[in-house]
């Protein structure tokens, strides 16, 4: 059975043997220790007790070593209590505690309201007007027109304007109106008209 963690109100009714209290999965911390002056993890205290009993405890834990030797270490009495009870009393399953904490943290967050405003959409950007594509090179038609205009201008500069000559009065010859004769083909009519004009 696990110990109750009052800060989270977490309780695990699973039975655990005393040996699991020394495993790294134990998230139980002592309320206070007069030797280290903080709240050490219970599993780390059990590891120091085990190392002290085998004579391999690091010298940096001299205070813990002295407390274990004098049997004033708080974790020593806690381990004895678990061995007498035949179960882990001071064990909190780290994975279960984390899952419980995540569940509680998720329950605090209020659900999104169905009437909440729709997410803002970015305003549409006006389409950029592209300038009409123009070519910096003249087309073939432009080249011909430029060449013709240049030739005309050059010819006008070289050729003097002709002297004005009085126009002679035009002689107007009136021809009698002609029409095809009955039975005459169009070819015959055209020949007869041409002969008459030549004779005029």
pLDDT tens sequence across 179-193: 777 777 777 878 888
Are 62 and 129 in contact, with CB atoms under 8 Å apart?
Answer: no
φ/ψ bin of 173: left (φ > 0), alpha (ψ from -120 to 50), beta (otherwise):
beta
> CA 96, CA 28: separation in Å to the nearest integer?
12
Of the candidate ranges 53-57, 131-135, 146-150, 165-169, the one whose mean pLDDT is the lowest: 131-135
Considering Cα of 151, then 155, then 157, then 158, what sign does the dihedral take? positive
Q: Which residue has the higher pLDDT, 167 or 37?
A: 37
Q: Which residue has the higher pLDDT, 20 or 113?
A: 20
Q: Is the pLDDT confidence value at 3 over 90?
A: no
Query: Percentage of the chain surpassing pLDDT 90?
Result: 40
pLDDT confidence band for 177 (50 / 70 / 90): low
Report pTM: 0.48
Give pLDDT, residue 188.
80
Q: Is the pLDDT confidence value at 74 over 80?
A: yes
Averaged pLDDT score across all residues of the chain? 77
How long a stretch of residues is the chain?
A: 200
Give the pLDDT mean for 112-128.
Answer: 60
φ/ψ bin of 86: left (φ > 0), alpha (ψ from -120 to 50), beta (otherwise):
left
């Amino acid at each position: 059975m696990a110990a109750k963690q009052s800060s989270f109100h977490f309780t695990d009714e699973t039975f655990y043997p005393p040996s699991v209290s020394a495993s790294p999965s134990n998230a139980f911390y002592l309320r206070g220790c007069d030797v280290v002056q903080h709240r050490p993890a219970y599993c780390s205290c059990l590891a120091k007790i085990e190392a002290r009993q085998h004579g391999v405890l690091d010298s940096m834990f001299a205070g813990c070593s002295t407390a274990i030797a004098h049997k004033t270490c708080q974790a020593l009495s806690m381990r004895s209590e678990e061995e007498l009870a035949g179960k882990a009393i001071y064990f909190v399953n780290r994975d279960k505690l984390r899952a419980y904490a995540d569940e509680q943290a998720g329950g605090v967050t209020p659900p999104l309201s169905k009437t909440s405003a729709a997410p803002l959409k970015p305003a549409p950007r006006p389409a950029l007007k592209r300038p009409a594509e123009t070519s910096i090179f003249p087309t073939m038609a432009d080249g011909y027109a430029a060449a013709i205009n240049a030739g005309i201008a050059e010819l006008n500069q070289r050729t003097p304007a002709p002297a004005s000559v009085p126009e002679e009065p035009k002689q107007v010859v009136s021809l009698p109106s002609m029409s095809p004769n009955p039975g005459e083909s169009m070819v015959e009519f055209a020949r007869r008209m041409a002969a008459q004009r030549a004779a005029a």
